[in-house]
Structure 1
Amino acid sequence: MMLMKNTVSGVQKAAILMLALGEDSCAKLFEALSEPEIREISVAMSQLGTVPAETVESICNEFARTIASSEILVGSYESTERLLRRALSPERASQIMEEIRGPAGRTMWDKLGNVSETVLANYLKNEYPQTVAVILGKIRSDHAARVLSLLPEDFALDVMTRMLKMETVQKDVLDTLEVTLRSEFMANLSRAPKRGSHEQLAEVFNNFDRRSEVRFMEALEERSHDDAERIKALMFTFDDLRRLSASSMMRLLQEVERDRLPLALKGASEELRKHFMDAMSERAGKMLRDDMAALGPVRVKDVDAAQAEIVVLAKTLADDGEIELSETTQAGEMIQ
């Protein structure tokens, strides 16, 4: 049966155009498409039959006219959403936009691989171990390892046991799981509230060197004292390590590189130095003081860099639940 121009569907036009472009160009286009799109166009290609030359020429001309009629193409969330709502139901358009605004990736498993391990672990810990085993078996091994390390130990061992015994998962099971993840997890993730502007700016200030931090904070205080005070309250600095309990400080010291601590403490108050040394043995404390004395004069920027590294370590340990960044003193009051 010969395919005529007036009976060609949209997907058939795409299939004809790609065949007309040749194998090399067609392969490059396939690389930019999702698996469902590739499948749909491939099916259309296999069922085209004979396509008259005039039909091919007409479709190529139509494509060229469409491209030529647009002087400038602007792609954005808004323009994409308008097009989707014209072509699809409101529910389906909203679902696709939620996926687009969510973590990047062509497939659901790609998207999960770009979700923070902490967020993913918090979601999976409430699922059946068998379901978690299937999901972790589909994402990158390094990401799966980080997720497993954040799950309760008994639960994680159960998941690993099921991963060992798992056979090939049926396609319909994977399809159902993808639909559930898309509707329950990804949709909620894309609607999750973003960090406030003051919190974001506090993170920026945390990464300034000391001179820049003071300069910009003073300028901000002149413009908006209230905003400056809110940002200060959200910032976590090297000096705030005074709040750590002895146990949290000991855990932090296990991760700090030995040559970085003397440099970081060269610019610290005596009170903060003592807080570090109280978490050490007497011999380790003496060695630290000797190392600090041996350094001699140091550049402020080097001290700032060493302190920033330790602050990042502290935040990482706090995110992993291994230490608490804000702990109380024996009197039950916060050290200010």
Structure 2
Amino acid sequence: MADDNNANGQGGQAASTRPKLEQAAMLLMSLGEADAAEILKHLGPKEVQRLGTAMTQLSNVQQMEVEAVLSGFLNEVRTLTGLGMGSDNYIRNMLVTALGEDKANGLIDRILLGGNTTGLDTLKWMEARSVADIIRNEHPQIQAIVIAYLDSDQSAEILSFFPDKVRLEIMMRVASLDSVQPSALQELNNILEKQFSGSAGSQTKTMGGIKVAAEIVNSLDSSIASDLLESITDVDEDMGTQIQDLMFVFDNLKEVDDRGIQTLLREVSSDILIIALKGADEDLQEKIFKNMSKRAAELLKDDLETKGPVKLSEVEGAQKEILVIARRMADAGEINLGGGGEQML
């Protein structure tokens, strides 16, 4: 939720108080179908899905809000320059110099390879059930590589289409992964009958590991996640403990600093926040309230009090949606999530 104390834009135009995602959706809808489609071509599957959902959920949009969004966009555009055009090599060299090759490789791939949608990247645009069908009869190691490569929320949905025994074996292999030889990636792309979109160099690719396993388990439905974590612990107690220690759950938002909470709230819609807080303890609710304007906090408290009973599945879904946003912002360096949690949602 946006704070009420937003600064006015250029020319006295009040800034929009809607979350940035909704502002982006309003901007795209203002451009018209053709221009909006051209912009969406340059976005990844998750961004397209989030924007598409936001556009379908827009309601009660006033003309002055649209003008505020357009004004804010134009103000930002005015600050841009031509720097960065064709700068892939510059970005690659800068990141390697700053982070070292091992740490930079994953980030480089995410940034520089995002323009192509061949090979493994094609799977990011597919329905989870379709991806599950594609890899269902492959060797568990191939399945693990695919699951480790994709984003955690998509991987979690794909895993939900596998039986418990297969899911356990895949996740054990994901947690044990460290790096993958280029030849193995090429073999996987041959299986997918597409050319791999990444570098064909001789370096191994960092993939999988305990952290990736924890993110995937975090994204699973609570009942599946609990059973899977218990099964992993039964097989390898140390691995299960490490995964659990790295898991970040909704209650852990109490560990995020005030500035991070304020940044996060600007990206969360009021409807989702209300449902999520129905299942939060008093300490977390108070942390949220104190990082909002007084008026916004009072309105949220009133909404919580008047909101009727909510299904547990809806509460968990809303909390997971907020956690997805939080992890995305943490990956982008916008907030710091702090330590992991000990309990499942």
Q: Shorter-chain TM-score category? A: 0.3 to 0.5
TM-score under structure 1 length normalisation: 0.42
Higher relative contact order (CA 8 A, sep 6+): 2
User: Which protein has the larger Cα radius of gyration, Structure 1 or Structure 2?
Assistant: 1
TM-score by length of 2: 0.41
